[in-house]
Structure 1
Amino acid sequence: MNIRSMAMVGSLAAALVVGGSAAAGAASATAARNADRPDRCGRPTAVSVFHDGGVPLLDWRENLEFDGRGTLWVSHVTKNRVEGYAPDGTLKASFPVPGPGGIRRGPDGMMYVNFGVNPLERDGGVMRFDPAAAEPRAEKVFGGTPRINGLAIDSAGNFYLSRELATGILKVRPDGSRDEEWTRKADVFGSNGLEIVGDQLYASVLVNGSSPVVRVPLADPARHTTVTRLSHTVLDGKFLDDLTAFGGDLVVAAFRSGELIKVDPVTGRSCVLVSGLRMPTSVRVPRAFGDHDGRRELFVTEASGRVVTVTLG
């Protein structure tokens, strides 16, 4: 989720009602069977602060990604910058990006970040930077795609961009051209977080009262299906944000409810890993990041400005 969503509460509430009603008719039988409220996972968890926040919402950290070289990169949407952190929490790099959102490592080892997520920016698209540079600088890969949020990149270098208040997950080729046919077939409304697992793209949906998680086959996006629904009613809507693959499951950040929810992508069964977070916006598994254990730890950014670690027992 980005700050634009908070500025459009009225529109969002209306879209939740409409989206929830429309999507209900298209739910798969599996999703219908697994539409129960998530239960607790039963695993002990500990939450610790990796980097403290400032004024909630005004210090909004939107997304994060590990480069596999010892740095955690964080998009700070309200300060218009990308920050790089060492495993001990030390800030080691910071450089300007206008309204940064989803951030991911590409198959070429470069880091890619959406720009223009901040509603004050007129343009939107993807920028690239070298995480190994002494002083990283972001350069534009392509623009012309305003009102985007989440980002995923496949092994061929294609970009997938989510849009909270539009239909269709955008696919952009490595040369910056749009795959309009793919986008038209991936007609999911209100997508937010994106994660590729094998040949499947998983999307969390923000603008839908039933809080669905959707599976989109990369080779056949028209065959997208609902994996699960994590809310019963609009009033229970969780405002799903980013998600990540973790130990064969998916872990989804629920912005409104302050939870991390684990979802089995095969059965749709779900449970709450941890609650009490402060508007979580993104969740990732640490990779080659000091002594942090990717089998037991998750890193989370929040709209509170914090970056926290969740350690599972």
Structure 2
Amino acid sequence: MRFLARGLVSLCAAGLLALGAGGGTAAAAAPARECAGIGAAGGVFKTVGPPALFWLENAGFDGRGGMWISELFQNRLVRFDARGEPGVGIPVPSPGASLLGPDGLMYVLYGNSPVSGLSPGGSGVLRFDPAAASPVAETFTTGLQMANGAAFDAAGNLYVGETTKTGLTKIRRDGTVDEAFAAATPVTGADGVAVIGDTLYATLLTDLRSSIVRVPLSDPSAYTILTSLSPGGLPKLLDDVAVGPDGALYVAAGTGEVIRVDPVTGAACVAYQAPFPIDSIRFAAGFAPYEVARDAFITSETGAIVHVRFSFPPGTGTGPAAAPAAMRLTVAPGRVRRGRTVTLRLTVRSPSASCRAGVRVRVGSTVARTDARGRATLRVRFGAIGRRTLTATRTGCRRARATVRVTR
């Protein structure tokens, strides 16, 4: 949230970024003015409201055709479809990031405000079922301080940037906070968070050098500064960050820039320039007809949602749309008797953890969702003899099927 950052940025000169035990810098240079081989064309997708009244803090995709927009001043999270039409809304105090979890639920941060930033404990994480006709948010964890950006790892842990707190926050699958992780990463001003494989990346909103931190999940104390994007100039007020279909980091900046950053070398370039400050960028997962391999959506404090279509060199796409992970569905028992109610034990296997958890398995009108181990059960009764097909689906994953034989 940049209106707080503007009040704090003068403090950055005193060194809000704590390097601690980690901290060498891999790169320190202003990004190149354009990205070679990458094109971008943008335009307003939806004007939600006037600039003075509508601050759109973040966007999240539910994989079911919905884009959830965090309307900061309205204290709500609103679902928009691919036509830009608003739908159901959920009350959320000062919402931050929203994102799809490995269990198929949407997670949204709350308390992303100066009040929470100055009063520890007034922020946290809610979650809800995006498939519900009238979603009701439940508490996942509390006690945070100005929770802003978030990302899951393959094991289902949630990482949160608390902008006015020292340390990066790790929340376990049961909602408890791993205090040791924060102690091992004593950085301040964290905002956007992204995970690539076994590495966490976080932007530092209030750092004068516009730095991005790189953290090995297995050894967080060995964190380093991936890059500093304004080592000798004005701070860019780095906000949210997303992983692009080419495997790079895409950072939304208060300067209106979408900055592409190589997650290995830290080399950076400007992939898109908006005419106003921007808050977040997300690639369109499960939002047809838009494609995760090229379409991104940007939120801003002007009340506008911007659609950007990127073009990448051939062969560079590594996102879910370019190479969906395979799934294999097994069911037991494989043979059941007609007219009897049975419990089917389902298992989804995949080399990708995101294609094991939160997978929807359907037979007829009955649906189950797998847990983090890829397991679920279905209570069903078949009235006719023959074969029944079960289908497993998950955004970014290849569809899988299995059959059950119904006998007399």
Shared fold, TM over 0.5: yes
Are 1:17 and 2:13 counterparts? Answer: yes
Equivalents in 1 of 2:126, 2:68: separation in Å? 14
Equivalents in 2 of 1:91, 1:211: separation in Å? 34
Are 1:239 and 2:237 counterparts? Answer: yes
What is the CA distance between 1:57 and its match in structure 2? 5.0
Equivalent pair of 1:63/1:103 in contact (CA under 8 Å): yes
Structure 2 letter corresponding to 1:30: A
Counterpart position of 1:80: 75
Which residue, out of 41, 49, 52, partners 2:47? 52
Equivalent pair of 1:74/1:83 in contact (CA under 8 Å): yes
What is the CA distance between 1:276 and its match in structure 2? 2.7
Find the structure with the greater CA-based Rg: 2
Counterpart position of 2:310: 312
Are 1:109 and 2:116 counterparts? Answer: no
What is the CA distance between 1:195 and its match in structure 2? 0.7
1:199-256 Cα shifts (integer Å, max 9, x gaps): 11111111111111111111111111111111133x421000001111111100011x
Gaps of 5+ in 1: none
Equivalent pair of 1:39/1:270 in contact (CA under 8 Å): no
Relative distance call for 1:20 and 1:276 in structure 2 (3 A) is same
What is the CA distance between 1:155 and its match in structure 2? 2.9
Relative distance call for 1:21 and 1:307 in structure 2 (3 A) is closer
Counterpart position of 1:71: 66
Are 1:30 and 2:29 counterparts? Answer: no
Equivalent pair of 2:25/2:226 in contact (CA under 8 Å): no
Q: TM-score, normalised by structure 1?
A: 0.91
Q: Could you tell which deviates more after superposition, 168-177 or 197-206?
A: 168-177
Counterpart position of 1:171: 170
Q: Which has the higher strand share?
A: 2
Counterpart position of 1:97: 92
Equivalent pair of 2:284/2:292 in contact (CA under 8 Å): yes
Q: What pairs up with 1:124-163 in 2 under 5 angstroms?
A: 124-163=123-162
Q: Could you tell which deviates more after superposition, 94-103 or 21-30?
A: 21-30
Equivalents in 2 of 1:275, 1:88: separation in Å? 24
Equivalent pair of 1:171/1:179 in contact (CA under 8 Å): yes
Q: Could you tell which deviates more after superposition, 101-110 or 41-50?
A: 41-50
Counterpart position of 1:196: 195
Runs of 4+ in 1 over 6 A off after TM superposition: none
What is the CA distance between 1:18 and its match in structure 2? 2.1
- Secondary structure (helix, strand or coil) at the match of 1:131 reads coil
1:110-142 Cα shifts (integer Å, max 9, x gaps): 000011113356621000010000111211112
Counterpart position of 2:185: 186
Structure 2 letter corresponding to 1:125: G
Equivalents in 1 of 2:93, 2:142: separation in Å? 12
Q: What pairs up with 1:267-306 in 2 under 5 angstroms?
A: 267-306=265-304
What is the CA distance between 1:55 and its match in structure 2? 2.9
Equivalent pair of 1:78/1:118 in contact (CA under 8 Å): no
Equivalents in 2 of 1:219, 1:136: separation in Å? 35
- Secondary structure (helix, strand or coil) at the match of 2:183 reads helix
Percent of residue pairs identical? 39
Structure 1 letter corresponding to 2:300: E
Q: Which has the higher helix share?
A: 1
Gaps of 5+ in 2: 312-408
**Superposition RMSD in Å:** 2.1
